[in-house]
Chain A
């Protein structure tokens, strides 16, 4: 479904952000990318969706190299949700979500009835249809993130790339977003690639995990196998205990206080 082969990127020749990144995902799988700040997670995600061009290697979607697809075709397959940001102009949530229809609408045209229906449906999926007329700069951070996800859904993508979707969100909203993403992967069979700073999230989703450090995605595999006390210590440079909690029926990460 989605694969990346020998992916590499550098801003300047001396310092490579990442190289030889290779992994693949099946339809409806979720991949969480963990890694310390500034290691290049966002860059990798952008390269996966060709928001930025990769210098070596290639990304394949449904067996096709993405550089062979036109921008518009690609945008019909891949939805990209950046880290939360602020909109300058007071678009309504519906107008924001409708922008996701851009790759399906000819350049000199405007969204029609069907586009509005699809946008409304995307908002229902993430549960924000009641906000449709609210200006985007007056809604909360959590609602804004949901609106951005709805916008990506309106693209009707088969792959969703999200850059730290739980960033800046309170505890409840973090779990809510994860639950919605899980649901999208399971019911709509959307393949999801996301980055996160919380190893716990990978246990919650029980998903595929890639750990990024020193310019490579070193480990890829099921969360319970990849996210271990050793790999976490290597990644974050502090000792972190991974314990199974019976009441929650899953692993949790407990950082020790130095």
Chain B
């Protein structure tokens, strides 16, 4: 009887934990609306927020409403979608490639996209084209990696990952080349800043595209999650269990690549999240992808919102996200690793 009660409590604690994880990014998002460099008192923030619904005479300035609608809201939504999307892509890749050390850019998407952006900045293209170029080269890099892996005939995961690493280093060299020839007073800092990652330039149209590229793909990964578990047995065995491994593998690679490429497009290279958030999720809910993928999305979303708050508020100058994700994250992750049983020894 007692053990039944204990199990009931345990089960509900887990459910409660999951509810907390799901709510956390939304709670953080709301709190984040009230903080920023441009100081606004909470009442003003609330009145501005509700102004589209409750019509009243404006008691605020144009600049104030601009801060809320064109700066804070897009940034927060951007952090939510990108943090979530990158974590989903990371969780999917780790299962697909049966490797806990894999991150979403393993097939070279980030380096490719980074190169696309760097070249566009070098030629002083407008923002839209910088984003387009980044997206295009991100997809191109992964496309080349898949082609390269097929030259070896074998469809083994190892060959694919190796090809990805090769393409990644190729585009990393090209990025260095672009930096090398870039004007060190104006272009070089712009490229470097872009590559280190920031959400400061995110606008409402960006969010719309982010929604299109990230949300349907992430949802698909969530509902296919249980079937993805079969990949942890290896491709051959997953096939023997009736899974169309080839088709599923390429669909999932396409989705993850789109998510990561678009993330780099609008906010530069944010490493670390896609690698570590899935581990955090696995420590909380175990390796079953049907749970892990949704949990990773919400954890990643909450994490990037938190980090972006630090990025825009800690100092008067913006701190690039690529720096903060790891600096803040590593001690936290080390603490968790020391405390919790990770389970893959």
Contacts and interface: CB of A to CB of B under 8 A. Distances in A.
A61 to B, nearest CB: 14
Given A71-B239, A137-B345, 13 more contacts: A71-B244, A73-B242, A88-B100, A89-B95, A89-B282, A95-B286, A95-B288, A99-B230, A100-B241, A103-B241, A105-B227, A108-B224, A111-B226
B159 to A, nearest CB: 16
B315 interface: no
Given A90-B287, A108-B223, A110-B226, A74 B237 contact: no
Interface string B215-231: 00000000110110110
B287 A109 contact: no
Contacts of A105: 226-227
26 contacts: A46-B236, A51-B237, A52-B236, A70-B242, A71-B239, A71-B243, A78-B240, A82-B236, A82-B237, A88-B99, A88-B232, A89-B100, A90-B286, A91-B232, A91-B286, A92-B286, A95-B287, A95-B288, A99-B229, A99-B241, A103-B241, A103-B242, A107-B224, A108-B224, A137-B343, A155-B241
Interface string B104-122: 0000000000000000000
B344 interface: yes
A102 interface: yes
Contact of A89 (B241, B243, B244, B344): B344
Interface in B232-289: 232-234, 236-237, 239-244, 282, 286-288
Contacts of A80: 237, 240
A51 B240 CA distance: 6
Given A87-B233, A89-B287, A92-B286, A109 B343 contact: no
Interface residues of A, number: 37
Interface in A53-84: 70-76, 78-80, 82
Contact of A99 (B95, B233, B286, B343): B233
Contacts of B233: 87, 99
Contact of A107 (B98, B227, B229, B282): B227
Contacts of A99: 229-230, 233, 241
Given A49-B240, A75-B240, A92-B286, A102 B227 contact: yes
A108 B224 CA distance: 5
Contact of B243 (A88, A102, A111): A102
Contacts, number: 85
B290 interface: yes
Contact of A91 (B99, B241, B287): B287
A74 B242 contact: yes
Contacts of B243: 71, 102
B158 to A, nearest CB: 13
A50 B245 CA distance: 14
B242 A90 contact: no
Contacts of B239: 51, 71
Contacts of B343: 89-90, 135, 137
Interface string B79-100: 0000000000000000100111
Contacts of B234: 82, 85
Which A-B residue pairs are the 3 nearest by beta carbons?
A75-B242, A90-B343, A103-B242
Contacts of B244: 71
Interface size class of B (residues with CB under 8 A): 20 to 34
Nearest to B233: A99
A155 B238 CA distance: 13
A154 B335 CA distance: 40
Given A102-B227, A108-B223, A87 B240 contact: no
Contacts of B287: 89-91, 95
A51 to B, nearest CB: 5
A107 B238 CA distance: 13
Contact of B242 (A82, A102, A108, A109): A102
A76 B243 CA distance: 12
B344 A137 contact: yes
A68 to B, nearest CB: 15
A99 B344 CA distance: 19
A71 B242 contact: yes
Contacts of B227: 102, 105, 107-108
Interface string B140-163: 000000000000000000000000
Interface in A179-232: none
The residue among A52, A82, A99, A105 with the most chain B CB atoms within 10 A of its own CB is A99
Contact of A72 (B100, B236, B242, B344): B242
Contacts of A109: 226
A50 B239 CA distance: 9
Contacts of A95: 229, 286-288
Nearest to B223: A108
A52 B232 CA distance: 19
A101 to B, nearest CB: 9
A142 to B, nearest CB: 19
Contacts of B229: 91, 95, 99
B290 to A, nearest CB: 5
A105 B290 CA distance: 14
Contacts of A51: 236-237, 239-240
